[in-house]
Amino acid sequence: MNANAYDSLPEAVTEVFGEEATAQRAYDLLTVDVPVGSWIAALEIARDKLGCTYFDWLSAVDEPGVGFRVCAHVVALEGGSVRRLLVRTTVSHESPVLATAVPVYAGAEWHERETHEMFGVEFTDHPNLVPLLLPENFEGHPLRKDFVLAARVVKAWPGAKEPGESEHGGPKRRQMLPPGVPDPNDWGPMKGQLPPAPARPARGAAAAGDRPARRARTTAEGSATRPEAAEARPPRRTRSVSEGSASQAAEGP
């Protein structure tokens, strides 16, 4: 029965997971998206009705303009076959709160602790939602798209040991800030101690208004470097086959 219910998806996703659920199958992976209110119910359906008793992992993805997409990957190992299922839901950036999956899959406890650290998702009723990987008093959530990479602010970009810099000799590369990194004078340990980084000019915009318009010349006018050559050159005379070429004129009778 479990295999039949799994094979009927994604066509019968609303019958199995509810009216608001959607599903798609790609690369031998079935993905089911459910609303936040149906998160725990969807995991129970995956375990009890689809036979997905093996919990693999749980994490999240920061989707700008959408929210944090929490994903749980579970597997059914019945009948000598492997059936993979990815259950997903999306919480907002403003209120990233989701019910814990530990009562359904006990192995989700450490995964939710990591997701809480890296993305800031709050799992309600979690038995021990304390830091797992990051040091004590760490500020921020490293896997969010808006998290500032402090190492790129402290270290000069593109680096102090690039070719052409420091002891390598040669011309020094132009210093510039990578995308998404603030000015070290505005953020970090050197705040207020450095001059602002130069803004990168738009390509071709600086000298576009200073160049004079290029004047087109005809063949009769000649080139721009030798205008007098075109005026002094006599018109070319056309010769017939019987007259021969200019180099054969001296060989005639």
Domains of the chain, residue spans: 1-131, 148-193
Sequence-distant (6+) residues with CB within 8 A of 91 are: 36, 67, 68, 70, 97, 98, 121
Interatomic CA distance for residues 104 and 87, integer angstroms? 13
pLDDT at res. 253? 47
Contact present, 45 and 17 (Cβ < 8 Å): yes
Cα–Cα nearest to 96, from 117, 110, 111: 117
pTM assigned to the model: 0.62
Q: How far apart are CA 207 and CA 100, in angstroms?
A: 59
Give the type of residue at 252.
G
Burial per residue of 211-223, b for 16 or more beta-carbon CB atoms within 10 angstroms, e otherwise:
eeeeeeeeeeebe
- Assigned CATH class of 1-131: alpha beta
Per-residue pLDDT of the chain (253 residues; tens, 9 = 90+): 578 888 889 999 999 999 999 999 999 899 999 999 999 999 999 999 999 999 999 999 999 999 999 999 999 998 788 999 999 999 999 999 999 999 999 999 999 999 999 999 999 999 999 999 999 888 899 999 988 877 666 665 555 555 555 555 555 555 566 666 677 677 766 777 776 656 655 655 554 555 666 666 665 555 555 555 555 666 676 666 666 655 555 555 4
Place of tokens 């999956």: 101
Burial class (CB in 10 A: 0-12, 13-18, 19+), 81: exposed
pLDDT at residue number 243: 62
